[in-house]
Structure 1
Amino acid sequence: MNAATRSALTRGLLPLAVAALVLGSGRAAAVSTAALDLPQLGEPADNTLSPMQERALGARVTAELYRENYTVEDPQLIDYINAIGYKLAGASSTTPPPLTVFVVQDPRINAFALPGGYMGINAGTLLAADNESELAGVMGHELAHITQRHIARTAEDTEVGTIATWLAVIAAIIAGSANPDVVMGALAVGQGINYQRQVSYTRAHEQEADRIGIQTMAAAGFDPNGMASFFGKLQQQSRLYGNGIPEILLTHPLSTNRMAEAAARAAELPRIRHEDPIEFFVMRARARVLSAEMPGEALDYFANELKAGRDTIENRYGLAFAQFKQSQVVAAMQTLAPLVDRYPKQANIQLLDADLLAQNGRLDRAMDVYQRLLQLYPRYAPAMLAYAEALMNAGKPDAARQYLLSHEQAQGTQLATYQLLAQAARESGNLAESAYQMGTYLQLRGDPGSALAQLDAGLRLPELSAQDRARLVAKRTEVRNALPDSYLAR
């Protein structure tokens, strides 16, 4: 998504934020990309959409975010966020649908729940959280919106026309979000919605999400005070921008009473001392680098932090990662070296060391690090993907492909897996397999047109085996059947 399109989407969709189940406030919430708020406005109840249909709708909206390159496709960050989500889901008193958590490439604070178990976390939310319990508080709050089906319950109590309007808007965004004119036209349909009624339901749901979210995060082993302390940060930001906050966002119920209620609920629970893992600080550093608007912004930030004497794990790792992203490999290796020696079993630090070794032409040493990590953490998907990519760089695409296919825990959980499988198959000369895997990758990214083009190219290959043809045809049928009615096939 280019800057102009993103800006147009933000301006056009801002009115939709009024009923969004978003935790953020202040300027961060006011300017948060409203396309992310959109799906929170119309999750119908079972008499309008079944849970399966809700899941399909959430998947379509999420795929649109992938297609517009608005998500952070970093295996380590994705794995970390999902691990917290799974921990919370396992502790929830109400079983959620299959949970999918993704990171949005936005340095501002926001989090949102989509129909069917999808949850988005802005990179800026990690940067604002001082500890893992605050991050878990945000996610626990959003998980409660999912388990309690707040959007569905709101839709049940509003006019059917309102539900249909918002579904039409969502469909329009999915069909033509690259064209701001399409978005604006769709929004014009929704101007008659009773905003105040929607807000009143949101207030009640926010209170319920706070209560259930605090219980869930405590059951998962996080400090339940994390939610209230994060509220404090949001209120501070709200005060900072004062009258600059649009009236539409002043209705979002972040109040002193709400903060006090969250603190009181946390005080009723047994005290929990949650020790933040190193991974939390490392992931904050990755989030800062990956969400920076300018290439050198994060590099300057971490360099200044170290120069000021704040030589923490987060700042040192962050500088090394920023240097790596700027192709300053030797400098990054020197920056990271103290952490590599001090934390020989910390997966993220060791993975960055291996990546730097590989970039520096020391592939044999890099492979040793990858293999040692996989012995320590055989089910860690980011290490699997890094190892497979290293095999391909070593001229062993068949070995990389077989490795990925034989490790089911990575298959289907990382978009990068399908992309690597397609690359490995292509480098091995198996073009039919490459077309199949790339078609799957593009389908999951929300680009069905390109997925069909890849599959059609595979079907045109000469001397295609009957098995490969049947597999490609089946995948093509799957992609075609999943297309919205309004989609015009190329």
Structure 2
Amino acid sequence: MAVGVVGVVLAADLSAPVPTDGIGSGAPSALNLPQMGEPADATMSPAQEAAIGTSVMAELYQYEYVLEDPEITEYLSNMGWRLVAAAQQKPPALDVFMVADPRINAFALPGGHIGFNAGLLIASQTESELAGVMGHELTHVTQRHIARSQDDAGGIGTIATWAAVLAAIIAGSGDPNVIIAALGVGQGVMYQKQVNFTRANELEADRIGIQVMADAGYDPEGMAGFFQRLEQQSRLYGTGVPEILRTHPVNTTRIAEARSRAAAIEKGKLRNVPDSLDYGLMKARTRVLVSSRPGEAVEAFSAELKNGRDTAPTRYGLALALSKAGDNARAAAVLKPAFDANRNAPAIALLMAQLKLGAGQSADAMALFEKIYQSYPTYAPAILRYAQALIETGKPDVARQVLLASQQIFGTRLETYRLLAQAARDAGNNGEASYEMANYLYYRGDYGGALAQLDAGLRSDSLSSSQRARLAARRAEVREALPRNYNPYAREPRQR
């Protein structure tokens, strides 16, 4: 898999023989990890990587490219941290997110950001296939392949240029016209060369990624199996090469090597590892959220149910699609058998609570929301959905208490700040609303928008002296993150 970004073509000879080095033994030496204080620091420091990653994420938010869904984000994040726990080298930070793109692809960015296209989750057939892709991309992060690749590329250029080219490649899927438009003729080609990765990086990511996913309890065959199936389908059915095979080139030699490495792993002899219920639920959820229209998803899941595929994920997907189509009462009836059979599945319970609320059963809905929140106090979707429901039912102050009591979601679930802003606004506290909305925009990388919110808050006539001091202090922090010559009117909104 090519590391870095969607649309980056691997410029390496994948047909060359692969050295065998005892992979699968589980010994640290077999993984050939780089030493700490490696030469990568000389070309791109961890601080520079973090700055580039933050800038790229800001661009992706402006493209409205990130699918900001609490349940899907939580599922992917949990898988990522499960793999991290099994890895012998941990990233300084990890941010796994879903991209609202039906194409099949995944990518790693500097600073620990890993993106998964919606199409990849939908196309996977087992949870181990998904874990295989994530294990590979996680290895690119832990081994700092982006920084290491710059040693021969002559440095990183400017952080702003890197951020622009990476975001352009992701949004344009490698379309040279998109890159040239973003950077100017000639310059885009130079920077795209700098984000290509060596064959050694790719083989290291395969090697370590397979071992890590096996140690985490997934089937190590998942990675090779997924790519082989995609490659065969593209040849047999003539549907065109999936995006992930364009940007992550594979051939029979590389697939065979991956299978050999998986077979060499003796620990636990993991094969045919059963999928979690959450995998099926989030796959169904993704299908609905990226459908061009709710009716299309209703038809698809209805057909599956009619054809005998009466599973919890099928009912979950149909219920969510019906809700998107505005039929909450029917959706609740469809979901009820799955809800009754899976009382310990918070994602199903949350959907049922939302359906009840949408159907006008506020008392039952809020009782269920509170029960889920009490049962799963660290489950971010339960916190966020409960807070949103409290706001919708006229209890913004209670919603604020729920959010402020859940410290683990601050800085990791940006929806927290938006809900805090909404709760403050509904409670009539405009200064606090501006402060929290500024935080929401700041953590999305929109420093200019954050500054505008703080300025609006400071113009409020009802501020206490402590509120004014708090807003002014935050304004100084945000202004420090902006260029000294920042002009709020110079930047037009970016269009997807």
Shorter-chain TM band:
0.7 to 0.9
Please name the residue that 1:471 is paired with: 470
Tell me, yes or no, if the aligned pair for 1:111 and 1:119 is still in contact at 8 Å: yes
Q: 1:171 offset after TM fit, Å?
A: 3.9
Tell me, yes or no, if the aligned pair for 1:169 and 1:186 is still in contact at 8 Å: no
Q: 1:234 offset after TM fit, Å?
A: 2.6
Please name the residue that 1:18 is paired with: 9
Q: Deviations over 1:101-160 (max 9, x none)?
A: 010011211110000111001111111111111111000000011111112111112234
1:208 aligns with 2:187: no
Distance 1:256 1:302 in 2: 35
**1:69 aligned counterpart, secondary structure:** coil
Please name the residue that 2:23 is paired with: none
The correspondence of residues 43-442 of structure 1 with structure 2, limited to 5 A, is 45-160=40-155, 163-164=156-157, 168=161, 170-171=163-164, 184=181, 186-190=183-187, 193=190, 201-240=197-236, 252-269=248-265, 270=267, 271-273=269-271, 274-442=273-441
Cα separation, partners in 2 of 1:243 and 1:391, compared to 1, 3 Å: closer
**1:93 aligned counterpart, secondary structure:** coil
Tell me, yes or no, if the aligned pair for 2:52 and 2:162 is still in contact at 8 Å: no
- Identity of paired residues, percent? 51
Q: 1:369 offset after TM fit, Å?
A: 1.1
Q: 1:169 offset after TM fit, Å?
A: 5.2
**1:116 aligned counterpart, secondary structure:** coil
One-letter amino acid of the counterpart of residue 218, structure 2: F
One-letter amino acid of the counterpart of residue 433, structure 1: E
Tell me, yes or no, if the aligned pair for 1:19 and 1:195 is still in contact at 8 Å: no
**1:467 aligned counterpart, secondary structure:** helix
Q: Deviations over 1:155-198 (max 9, x none)?
A: 112234xx4289625347779x9999895151523355398897
Q: 1:251 offset after TM fit, Å?
A: 8.5
Distance 1:310 1:229 in 2: 24
Distance 1:185 1:455 in 2: 30
Distance 2:166 2:255 in 1: 35
Please name the residue that 1:25 is paired with: none
Where does structure 2 lack aligned partners over 5 or more consecutive residues? 13-38, 490-496
Q: Deviations over 1:223-268 (max 9, x none)?
A: 1111111121231244257696699976853011111111111111
Q: 1:295 offset after TM fit, Å?
A: 3.7
Tell me, yes or no, if the aligned pair for 1:203 and 1:252 is still in contact at 8 Å: no
One-letter amino acid of the counterpart of residue 213, structure 2: M
**Higher share of residues assigned helix:** 1
**2:40 aligned counterpart, secondary structure:** coil
Distance 1:307 1:15 in 2: 37
- Report the more deviating stretch, 459-468 or 234-243: 234-243
One-letter amino acid of the counterpart of residue 88, structure 1: L
One-letter amino acid of the counterpart of residue 188, structure 1: V
Cα separation, partners in 2 of 1:343 and 1:453, compared to 1, 3 Å: same
Cα separation, partners in 2 of 1:396 and 1:118, compared to 1, 3 Å: same
Distance 1:390 1:192 in 2: 49
Tell me, yes or no, if the aligned pair for 2:180 and 2:186 is still in contact at 8 Å: no
Q: 1:423 offset after TM fit, Å?
A: 0.6
One-letter amino acid of the counterpart of residue 286, structure 2: A
Distance 1:306 1:221 in 2: 31
Tell me, yes or no, if the aligned pair for 1:289 and 1:318 is still in contact at 8 Å: yes
Over the aligned positions, Cα root-mean-square deviation in angstroms equals: 3.0
One-letter amino acid of the counterpart of residue 270, structure 2: I
Aligned length: 451
